[in-house]
Amino acid sequence: MDKTTPYPQINALECKSCGRCVDACPKKCLEIGNELNVRGYRPVVYKGEGCIGCASCFYTCPEPYALEIHIPKK
Ligand code: SF4
Ligand code: SF4
């Protein structure tokens, strides 16, 4: 993954697979993953490209520690 552009980092243990971030992302670059975490949810995954760092996913996520956005320094 290109770390010179913005990207979301998902904490797979905290994600409850609610899908709100998937719906909120204007670039459609998040999706529900295929793997179950130890709590029985399928955490969201980043498709690997397309993120513009808008943070819509971060602000719509009800889980405090499930998602953060990395914005590279210029
Ligand atoms: S920061 Fe914006 S573009 Fe990037 S994954 Fe979140 S909602 Fe999508
Ligand atoms: S909004 Fe948060 S808890 Fe819901 S699927 Fe996205 S990262 Fe997971």
Ligand 1, atom nearest to 46 Cα: 5
pLDDT band (50, 70, 90) for residue 74 = confident
Ligand 1, atom nearest to 6 Cα: 4
- Supply 12's token pair: 């797979």
pLDDT at residue 2 tops 80: no
Which residue among 11, 21, 31, 47 has the greatest number of ligand 2 atoms within 8 angstroms of its CB, and so is best to mutate?
21
pTM as predicted: 0.94
Q: 46 φ, ψ to 5°?
A: -85, 135
Q: Where are the domains of the chain?
A: 7-70
pLDDT of residue 55: 97
pLDDT of residue 73: 86
CATH of domain 7-70: 3.30.70.20
Containing H/E element for 69? strand 67-70
Ligand 1 contacts (CB < 6 A) are: 8, 24-25, 27, 29-30, 51-57, 69
- Supply 74's token pair: 């210029």
How do residues 7-57 score in pLDDT, each as one tens digit? Answer: 999 999 999 999 999 999 999 999 999 999 999 999 999 999 999 999 999
pLDDT of residue 3: 78
- If one counts every other C-beta atom within 10 angstroms of the C-beta of residue 37, the result is 16
Question: In 3D, which of 38, 47, 53, 44 has the Cα closest to residue 5?
Answer: 53
